[in-house]
Amino acid sequence: MVVDSRLDPPGLEQLRVEYPQVPVELGEFQDATFSNARRLIVSPGVSLREKAISRANDLGVPITGDIDIFSRAVNAPLVAVTGSNGKSTVVSLVAEICQRAGISFGLGGNLEGENALPALSLLEEPERDVYILELSSFQLETTSELGAEVAAILNFSEDHMDRYADLDAYLHAKQRIFNGAHKIVVNRDCQYSKPPSSVASEILEFGMQEPEPGVFGIKEVAGEDWLAYGDRNLIRASSLKVVGRHNVANVLAAMAISKSLGVDLDVSANAVQKFAGLPHRCQWIAEVDGVNYYNDSKGTNVGATAAAIEGLGQKSAGKVVLIAGGVGKGADFSPLQPVVEQYVSAVILLGSAAVELARVLSDRAPVTFVSDMEEAVVKARFKAQSGDAVLLSPACASFDMFRNFSHRGQKFIDQVRRLQ
């Protein structure tokens, strides 16, 4: 049986045509349906705290999800990456490195993009040498024994507080990625990146400090920052095409993961220098009248937006004009205060969290409210001066005004193009 709480969910007609023998139940979840099931396969979009699901779980009904099913179906090694920010960039970098190394790969999971597939859709493709999966905490909730060859929590900051009771619950979901992992990549700059002490796996570390032997890090050589592995200098940080310290950390993470897969360091270094970044992730769009416009629509939480502001603020000759707002997901916006105060000259706010954001940021930078993306870009152009950067990095989800973050980012791009 297929159950959906919506009365007219997308894909309903296709389901009925392709699987006419499968009963469909729509509307409010029914206790009897779930409690009498032999197994529940729960979509990541549905919380296990839903009353009918919780009751079924209490009665001992097994609960699983797409990633558990996938991991049991494939024989090739899995790379599993989660974190509050940077997941998509890191798995895409690992894929670039594998391609350069001649390793066939399947790329997908929670990742969006033309070359990415939902995990179960990868099973329809020819078998690969390795599978590289971006995993959300929602997917990991139903993942019991992943058994990844390499697993990583890149970083951890407040997000999805509309889904979880507290930060500990969010972290606990993320840490399920370590179940059965053979190797673990740890971010030395984030204590939450470390596995529980009970996990016995090989560990490789990266961080933004000068590296010790066997660790990836940053080393200063003749006044320049280099990405290094132990005492081996690999790449000038200035040679990377991606922007900001957070992206340097993403590159280090990808190289550490690739080394855990046995890829030669020179191959990794060559691949990451050619990586130009992903759409909607601090993506340069255009320069208009001396002002650079950047689309970071994928900045859907506070940590991502803070990193984007800092990265652009350090790079730009002038200040940052920030466009933010959307669905706040119960987040605490106060960590944005220091970077806004240091780097931002004006804040343009839209969406359902606009008032809440203004309450937190209005004493750090002038705030303007707008009703849509067209008005946001027009106001930003008016406030920006030559040498400044206009940054769309909402710190919020998109679904109050847009279909998804890609739709939001494209609307921003379209409006910027009209300025040219």
Catalytic residues, by residue number, are: 87, 110, 160
Cα–Cα distance, 19 to 404 (Å, whole number): 28
Contact predicate 41/47, CB 8 Å: no
Residue (of 151, 113, 124) closest to 278 by Cα position = 113
Q: Which of 28, 2, 6, 29 is nearest to 14 (CA)?
A: 2
β-bridge pairing 215-221 and 224-229? antiparallel
Task: Tell me the sheet residues that pair with 24.
Answer: 2
Give me the half-sphere count of Cα atoms (radius 13 Å) on the Cβ side of residue 340: 27
Judge whether 313 and 343 are in contact, CB under 8 Å. Answer: yes
What CA–CA distance (Å, rounded) separates 148 from 171? 18
Give Cβ neighbours of residue 329 (< 8 Å, ≥ 6 apart): 159, 160, 161, 162, 163, 301, 396, 397
DSSP strand pairing (389-392 vs 320-324): parallel
